[in-house]
Structures are given as structure tokens and as C-alpha cells.
Amino acid sequence: MITHGADRYHSLDALRASMMLLGLVLHSAVSYIREPIPQAWPYKDPNTSTVFDLLVFFIHLFRMPVFFVVAGFFGAMLMQRDGARGFLVNRLRRVLLPLVIFWPLVAPLTIAAFAYANARVSGQPGMTAIPDAVFRDANLGHLWFLWYLLIFYALVTAVSKRGSWGQISFFHQRKRSDPTFRRVATSLWGASLMGIITALTLLPMTVPGLDTAATLLPPVRILVAYGVFFGFGWLLYRHRDLLDALGAGWRRPLAIGAAISLVYVVLLAGRLIADPRLLHWTGCLLAGLATWMLIYGIIGLFGDQLSRPRPLLRYLSDASYWMYLVHLPLTVAIPGLLAPWNAPAPIKFAITLAVVTAVTVSSYHYLVRSTAIGALLNGRRSPSARGAGAAAREMAST
């Protein structure tokens, strides 16, 4: 049984935080991949490993799809709880405001980190000038997902028929489609159907997988692809009792998703199909099926194993937003600092991830958690580190 408190789904909280924190893993790894992606990541360490190509590839396959499903679920919960007006106020404060505050701070630091890292590899002292393209082109970098969420929030608010700000007919309409959705959300054939739908949205992509555009005007094809995940999560909240069924049957879709992912990676890496068009179509189908099998399996896994409140998971859930917002410059600068060191890529990766995690967690704990920034990101101001420690000691002594 998936348990939750008032308006708090502990397994989905943990899942959302995990997808955020996997961003730290992904960005710590991408400097060490063998096949460079200069447009997205203009730095490559001298020491690389195919292991990180596979790791980045696999994480990218499911991380943001799972995140958008969870975002849709919690968005529907907020809409029902607070009405459209309260929903919009909450989302503007918790999503738009952090984007407006943190993008101008993190973007130039990230560009400077790339300049520093490349200078370390080339042996040139100092850093190259920081280009102003990041501001001129409004490239949102790793914060692109916040902008996509705001677009989806605006769309669901606009299409919700309402008699007043507090009455959203979405939650009062006739449930003609409910039996179909319930079967889709709790069966392997349903996951396969969703995989085919996603495969169709992937066909217009430049590669047989999810594209990402970090601009203020993302292509419609990308919004549609991510909108499928968000919309599924939105509908899932209406049928939130199905989380128990997903939690009971997570092993099969997770195993099938992992197997299809392996076939997908081997197919694309080895270019086993000579015809580029057929390779693209086949890759899109495999990507869609793997993604949705992993979505069903991962949501079920977290529901089965992490449904009860745990202090550490609650803490990490609170910290994950801050950690993700500020981590990117560190995941570039630290590999740059390590660049002249001729150590194996896995060792450099481990150091990078450990330092990034330590810095972001400690900065959250001592500089953010009990401040106005913590209240902005988490919706409340948590006790200070000193106050929390005193309370813990007092509880231990009683």
C-alpha cells in the first residue's frame, strides 16, 4: 500500500528528487564520454571511457520523462487543491521566480567554467572571454525544463473550463475515458501503447530519441513529446489509487525496459541497420517502448520501496531543487581542474560527483535551508542547522 500524508506522496517526492539528483550524475559524467557533443557540452576531458557514453545515454532515456510524469501528477494535485488562481500563484513563485533569479547567476558561471576547463586542456593560462551569446540567445541551459513546465502550466490552465477560479471542471467531468486510462496505466500492453505514442512523437526529432531545446521558443515537436509525459502524470493524479497497482507490478516493466534499452544502445552504437531512415524509425520505436517500460517500472519501484516517510529522503527531497539549480558550473570547473591529471576517467568522475554533491548539500544546509531562498524553493522555511541540532539533542535526551 502506497502511503502518503495530507497532499504528500512520499514515494513521488523521492522520485522527483532522484531525477533531479541524477542530473548531477549525468553532468558529472558527460565530460568523460568518448563521443563529444560540443553543441550541448563544449568540453571533453583528455581521459574518457565508453562506460560514460552508455551511462549518459541510459539516464537521458528515462530521467526527464519520469520527471515530467511526476510534475504532471503534482500539478493536477495543486490545481484541485488550490484552484486555478492558487495553482498559478504557486507555480509562478516556485518555478518562474527561481528561473528568473538563478539563470542570470548560473549561466555566466557555467560559460566561465567551460572557458576555464578548455584552457586547462589546451595548456593556455587564464580563461577566454565569456561570450554574450548566452544572454543574447536566451539559452536556458540546464534550467530549460522549468520553462517547459511553465508552458504546460499555462496550457492546462487555459484549457480548463471553469465557472470560477476555484471550480475546475476537469475534476467534475463525466468519467467516460476513465476505464480505458486505468487499463492503460496498469498493464504491459498499456505501457507498450504509450511507448508507440511516444515513438510517433520522436519521429520528427533529429536523432532517434528526445531532443532538447533550451530556448524560449522551443520547437513544437519537442513540447508535444514532453507533453505526453506531463499529460499522463496529470491524468494519473485523477486515478491516484493506481499507484498501488504500479507498486505491486514494477519488476516486469523495469526488466523489459532495461532489456529494450540494451537493444536500443547496441543498435544505435553499432549502426546495425544500414538504411538511415529505417535506423531512425526502429530507434524511435525502441526508445519509446524502453522509456515507458522504465517509467512504469521506476514509479512502481519507488511506490513499493519508498512510500513511507523517511527523514533522510525528506531532507534530500527538499535539498534537490537547490542542488540542481546551482550544480552545473561545478560539474564543468572540477573536470577542468582535474584535466592535467592523467588518472582514469572513472576516478575523475567519482571525484567530480563527490565534490559537487558535498558542495551543493553543505551550501543548502548552512546557507539556504533556513533562509528566504529555502522558503522560496520548498514552500516553507526549515529550521536552521543549529536549531535543528538542538531539537534533535533535546529529543534524544527525553
For residue 293, count other CB atoms closer than 10 A to its CB. 26
* pTM listed for this prediction: 0.90
What is the rounded distance in angstroms from the CA atom of residue 134 to the CA atom of residue 136?
A: 6
What string of pLDDT tens digits covers the 398 residues of the chain? 444 444 578 999 999 999 999 999 999 999 999 988 888 899 999 999 999 999 999 999 999 999 999 999 999 999 999 988 899 999 999 999 999 999 999 999 999 999 999 999 876 655 554 444 444 556 899 999 999 999 999 999 888 755 443 444 444 444 556 788 999 999 999 999 999 999 999 999 999 999 988 889 999 999 999 999 999 999 999 999 999 999 999 999 999 999 999 999 999 887 888 899 999 999 999 999 999 999 999 999 999 999 888 899 899 999 999 999 999 999 999 999 999 999 999 999 999 999 999 999 999 999 999 999 999 998 776 665 544 443 334 333 33
pLDDT of residue 6: 46
Q: Which three cell numbers stand for residue 28?
A: 558529472
What is the rounded distance in angstroms from the CA atom of residue 147 to the CA atom of residue 214?
A: 9
Helix axes 50-91, 345-363, angle to 10 degrees: 20
Q: Where are the alpha helices (DSSP H) in the chain?
A: 10-29, 50-91, 97-122, 133-136, 144-159, 178-184, 188-202, 220-238, 243-248, 251-270, 276-305, 311-338, 345-363, 372-378, 385-397
Residue ranges covered by each domain of the chain: 4-343
pLDDT of residue 31: 96
Is there a contact between 75 and 371 (Cβ–Cβ < 8 Å)?
no
Q: Which residues of 31-53 are buried (b: 16+ CB within 10 A; e: fewer)?
A: bbbeeeeeeebebbbebbbeebb
Query: Tell me, what DSSP letter sits at residue 381?
Result: P
What is the rounded distance in angstroms from the CA atom of residue 287 to the CA atom of residue 62?
A: 9
- Tell me the one-letter amino acid at 333: A
End-to-end CA distance of the chain: 33
